[in-house]
Structure 1
Amino acid sequence: MSIATLPAPPYYVVCFSSQRTEVEDGYGEIGAVMVDLAKQQPGFLGFESARRPDGFGIINSYWQDEESIRAWKAVVDHVEAQRRGRADWYSRYEIRVALVQRAYGFDGTHAKE
């Protein structure tokens, strides 16, 4: 996964912090399907994720507005993935939704010599 290329703010970020269980049972496959499905949703802007070997991970998804976030939360296949997450894949998670008002960064691959 790479750093998402996003438009200038404002936009929203949904931060999903989680602790995985040891249950795999389709986790990777469903995760890939959810990313592909999210990319098809109106208002989707980008996605980033990272997971440590101990199972702690963070997934950031970026959205145009809160309406887009609410619509994504209600997509039937996503609702089923949420159910599976609570039943099998996560021992704990937190979701935080925030408005990004300012963003900046650094890209060392374009450094001047």
Structure 2
Amino acid sequence: MNTSILDFSVAEPPSAMSALFAATPRPPYYAAIFTSLRSPVDQGYGEMADRMAQLASLQAGYLGAESSRDAQGFGITVSYWESEQAIHEWKHNAEHQIAQEKGHTTWYQHFELRIAKVERAYGKTR
């Protein structure tokens, strides 16, 4: 058995990677891909981002997320969901809507949100 190739749809990533990679089920599932460019204004951004990550993890249908931001403020967060309905319900969560409004008016110079259905998933760890 070749253990150097892991199918992340069946097994969790190794523990050193588990903080970086979401452990998702076998497809199909959905991804909400949020790309953004931060503004120089902070005004509680870090605290709200932490709260949204915590709140999303409690939302029905949430599977996990992966996120990164560079030194220039460009970031990508991919959250994984069981269904489009779960994404819709998260978008309309009251506390999340407050964060969205603050993002629109203060925290982001530009952002894009794309929703995609994941049909295949595979990975490798060495």
Question: Shared fold (TM-score greater than 0.5)?
Answer: yes
1:92 aligns with 2:110: yes
Which structure has the highest helix share of the two? 1
1:27 aligns with 2:45: yes
Q: Secondary structure at the match of 2:56?
A: helix
Q: Distance in 1 between matches of 2:82 and 2:24?
A: 10
> Identical aligned pairs, as a percentage?
45
In the superposition, the TM-score normalised over structure 1's length comes to 0.94
In the superposition, the TM-score normalised over structure 2's length comes to 0.84
Aligned to 1:79: 97
Q: Distance in 1 between matches of 2:92 and 2:111?
A: 18
Q: Distance in 2 between matches of 1:96 and 1:38?
A: 17
1:13 aligns with 2:31: yes
Runs of 5+ in structure 2 lacking a partner? 1-18
Q: Distance in 1 between matches of 2:51 and 2:76?
A: 18
Aligned to 2:68: 50
Q: Distance in 1 between matches of 2:25 and 2:125?
A: 16
Q: Distance in 2 between matches of 1:67 and 1:12?
A: 10
Aligned to 1:38: 56
Return the match for 1:2 from 20, 23, 28.
20
Return the match for 2:121 from 66, 87, 103.
103
Q: How many residues align?
A: 108
Q: Distance in 2 between matches of 1:8 and 1:23?
A: 39
Which amino acid in 2 is paired with 1:87?
T
Q: Secondary structure at the match of 1:33?
A: helix
What do the CA deviations read for 1:8-64 (whole angstroms, capped 9, x no partner)? Answer: 100000000000001111000000000000000000000110001000000000000
1:64 aligns with 2:82: yes
Which amino acid in 1 is paired with 2:97?
V
